[in-house]
Amino acid sequence: MNWDYPNPFTWRVSVESSAIDALGHVNNKAYLEWIMEAAWAHSGKLGLRIDDYTRLGFAFVARRHELNYLAPTFLHDRLIVGTWIVTNDGKFRSRREYQIMRENDGKTVFRGSTDWVCIRLDTGKPSVMPAEFIQAYQPTNV
C-alpha cells in the first residue's frame, strides 16, 4: 500500500448495501462515518475512549471536515482506512488526516482531514486540552 505517511492506524471496511446510494456506488456520507469510526478506534488504541472523555470532563469536537472523493467504490469492495494525527498544538487544536484505499488494487479512493477543537464538557466552550490529551494525541505521521 502506498500510504501518504508512514505507520497509519488502519481500519478495514467491507462495503455493505446500506452504504450504496441511488447511483449504485457508495454514498458520500458513508466515508465520513468510516473515518469517524477509524478515528475513535485509533483514539482507543492511544488510550482515550469516550468514557475517558467523560471522566476527564473534556472532549475533542470537529471544527471542520475536508472530504475529497477521488474514485467511486461499490458493494462488496474491501477498503482500508488509514489515519494519522498530523498536528497537536498542545493547547486547543489537533488535526487528523485520512486516506482510504481499495484493498484489491491499492488505489487511493478518498483523502480527508478533520480539524478538532478541545472543549470542556460542562460548558461546551473551547478549553486548553488536559495533559492526557497532549500525551495521547501526539502526531503519528512521523
Q: List, in order of start, the domains of the chain with CATH numbers.
A: 9-136 (3.10.129.10)
pLDDT digits (tens, 9 = 90+) for 62-108: 999 999 999 999 999 999 999 999 999 999 999 999 999 999 999 99
Rounded Cα distance between 26 and 5, Å, is 25
Asked if 29 and 112 touch (Cβ cutoff 8 Å), the reply is no
d(CA 128, CA 142): 24
With b meaning 16 or more CB within 10 Å and e meaning fewer, what string describes 83-114? Answer: bbbbbbeeebbbbbbbbbbbeeeeebbbbbbb
pLDDT, tens digit (0-9, with 9 covering 90-100), for 14-44 = 999 999 999 999 999 999 999 999 999 999 9
List pLDDT tens digits, range 97-125.
Answer: 999 999 999 999 999 999 999 999 999 99
Q: Take residue 127 and report the three cell numbers written for it.
A: 478549553
In this structure, are residues 69 and 28 in contact, taking their beta carbons and an 8 Å threshold?
yes
Q: Do residues 73 and 32 touch, judged by C-beta distance below 8 A?
A: no
